Amino acid sequence: MKARYIYMIFNTLKHVMGELRDQSDHYLLDPPLLGELITALRGLGYSVIGPVVREGAIVYDEIESASQLPVGLRDRQGPGYYRLEERGDKAFFGFVVGPHSWKRFLYPPRVKLFTVSRKGEVTPNNVLGKKLAFIGVRGCELAAISVLDKVLLGGPYVDPVYSAMRREVFIVAVNCTEPGENCFCLSVGTGPEAGSGYDIGLTEVVGDGVHYFVAKAGSSAGKSLLERIGARRATDEEVSEAAARIERARTLFRKGLDVNGLKDLLYKNLESPVYAEVAERCLACANCTLVCPTCFCTTVEEVTTLSGNVAERWRRWDSCFNADFSYIHGGPIRSSRMSRYRQWFTHKLATWIDQFGVMGCVGCGRCITWCPVGIDITEEAAKIRQRVLEVSAT
Ligand code: SF4
Ligand code: SF4
């Protein structure tokens, strides 16, 4: 009995200490301090990458100040649909995700591997990496970076380019308070709140005459930066308001993926007629793989100078939707669009789990938005499940 009481007291103290520690990690930023944060990161030698508007879409690029962020804009999304519109407020992060992901900075679309001269001298291109600060990383995107870490750093073959680019990354995450039409992170457990792996986690509170960020320090580097820019501790009310906005976001999702038994379902139904139906619409354009924050397939190509004295080998993003991607001794293994869609779909949702211990899909919805014919990964998964139920009912 005595031991039980000691255990209960210990647990209560642990909980209280945890709460206190948690509370002490929350700071308050007003909008000008967001600019100070960017300036401070640049002062520490980071190239700061954040969301900006380019050609009608919100993409990621280097920024120098908070004024370059897409203030007051939201992105309306649907299957094969993306438009920006005014929100009617001054929110800095009032949108979700666009066609870019952080993959393009950690695992560039095109990178030189080496140069070789006619004399046979080989000069490797040792990618050195640089200090990168990502501003506005969503929960799904943080999960995607964690997936890439497993794929490109976690096995016996470490990717030297990714490893160099990933080494000094400072992450400012943003919790989502308004999910987009194609988001389904809630159902796959990656959002709307950012999980672990960030240095600073922001929740933007805007409306009803207030505009501030509750900033949670996720690392000692994040905490010291928040203190360096003079952010004060957030009050209990401010922290509660931010938490309430995230809780409310959980009720606003319109899309979901039923992951219950999904891997086995897909393994048992590789001949589902749904794949042939999708192939009737799929253009094999590869958009879905290029916008996906976790797809990592590449190819290599050689280019030579006109004189033929120097050749370079480059690596560039490729896609399993390209027929040549599975070309082996005389022909592609997956010659039909059906087999290529099935390869991508089952890799994302099933075989990836066997390879890396996690799903290859983090629920960002990009492949739905940027598919020109609006093919929706959640709907196709639901159809396969439904067909199985229909067959077993007959
Ligand atoms: S498969 Fe689609 S929804 Fe899933 S992570 Fe890739 S782009 Fe996002
Ligand atoms: S599913 Fe859509 S985005 Fe992907 S290859 Fe087919 S048509 Fe292109």
> Residue 33, class by beta-carbon neighbours within 10 Å (0-12 exposed, 13-18 middle, 19+ buried)?
buried
Co-location of 94 and 216 in the same domain: yes
Co-location of 47 and 94 in the same domain: yes
Identify the nearest ligand to the CA of 291 by its number.
1
Co-location of 238 and 275 in the same domain: no
Of the candidates 230, 148, 242, 165, the one whose C-alpha atom is nearest the C-alpha of residue 201 is: 242
CA of 36 to the centre of ligand 1 (A): 33
Co-location of 107 and 230 in the same domain: yes
Identify the nearest ligand to the CA of 141 by its number.
1
Which tens digits make up the pLDDT trace of 335-373?
A: 999 999 999 999 999 999 999 999 999 999 999 999 999
Which domain, by its residues, includes 379? 262-393
Which tens digits make up the pLDDT trace of 265-317?
A: 999 999 999 999 999 999 999 999 999 999 999 999 999 999 999 999 999 99
Atom of ligand 1 nearest to the CA of 291: 7
Q: What is the pLDDT of residue 394?
A: 80
Which tens digits make up the pLDDT trace of 2-44?
A: 544 444 444 444 443 444 445 569 999 999 999 999 999 999 9
Is 211 within the bounds of a domain?
Answer: yes
Q: Averaged over 41-54, what is the pLDDT?
A: 98
Q: What is the pLDDT of residue 22?
A: 54
How far is C-alpha 385 from the chain's CA centre? 26
CA of 288 to the centre of ligand 1 (A): 8
Q: Averaged over 139-149, what is the pLDDT?
A: 98
Atom of ligand 2 nearest to the CA of 340: 5
pLDDT, the chain, mean: 94
Compute the residue count for the chain.
394
Which tens digits make up the pLDDT trace of 220-271?
A: 999 999 999 999 999 999 999 999 999 999 999 999 999 999 999 999 999 9
Phi-psi sector, 84: left (phi>0), alpha (psi -120 to 50), beta: beta
Co-location of 134 and 272 in the same domain: no
Which tens digits make up the pLDDT trace of 71-87?
A: 999 999 999 999 999 99
CA of 319 to the centre of ligand 2 (A): 11
Q: What is the pLDDT of residue 392?
A: 86
Co-location of 327 and 268 in the same domain: yes
Co-location of 239 and 314 in the same domain: no
Is 4 within the bounds of a domain?
Answer: no
Boundary-marking domain end, from 228, 250, 272: 250
Identify the nearest ligand to the CA of 282 by its number.
2
Atom of ligand 2 nearest to the CA of 371: 3
Co-location of 72 and 212 in the same domain: yes
Boundary-marking domain end, from 188, 218, 250: 250
Co-location of 209 and 355 in the same domain: no
Is 240 within the bounds of a domain?
Answer: yes
Helix (H, G, I), strand (E, B) or coil at 18: helix
Mutate to test the pocket of ligand 2, among 278, 280, 373 (most ligand atoms within 8 A of CB): 373
State if pTM tops 0.85.
Answer: yes
> Residue 11, class by beta-carbon neighbours within 10 Å (0-12 exposed, 13-18 middle, 19+ buried)?
exposed
Q: What is the pLDDT of residue 26?
A: 98
CA of 293 to the centre of ligand 1 (A): 7
Is 194 within the bounds of a domain?
Answer: yes
Is 257 within the bounds of a domain?
Answer: no
CA distance 327 to 71: 46
CA distance 92 to 35: 11
In percent, how much of the chain has pLDDT > 90?
Answer: 90
Cβ–Cβ < 8 Å for 276, 338: yes
Total count of domains within the chain = 2
Co-location of 53 and 141 in the same domain: yes
390 Cβ contact partners less than 8 Å away, ≥ 6 residues apart: none
CA of 29 to the centre of ligand 1 (A): 32
Is 126 within the bounds of a domain?
Answer: yes
CA distance 129 to 91: 32
Cα-Cα-Cα-Cα dihedral sign, residues 173, 178, 182, 187: positive
Boundary-marking domain end, from 250, 285, 312: 250
Ligand 1 pocket, Cβ-based, cut-off 6 angstroms: 291-294, 348, 361-367, 377
Res. 393 pLDDT band, cuts 50 70 90? confident
Co-location of 154 and 219 in the same domain: yes
Please name the residue whose Cα sits nearest to atom 4 of ligand 2.
288
Is 256 within the bounds of a domain?
Answer: no
Is 341 within the bounds of a domain?
Answer: yes
CA of 361 to the centre of ligand 1 (A): 5
Mutate to test the pocket of ligand 2, among 274, 282, 334, 342 (most ligand atoms within 8 A of CB): 282
* CB atoms inside a 10 Å sphere around CB 331: 9
Please name the residue whose Cα sits nearest to atom 8 of ligand 2.
285
Co-location of 178 and 314 in the same domain: no
Atom of ligand 2 nearest to the CA of 337: 6
Phi, psi of 378, rounded to the nearest 5 degrees? -70, -35
DSSP 370-391: T-TT---HHHHHHHHHHHHHHH
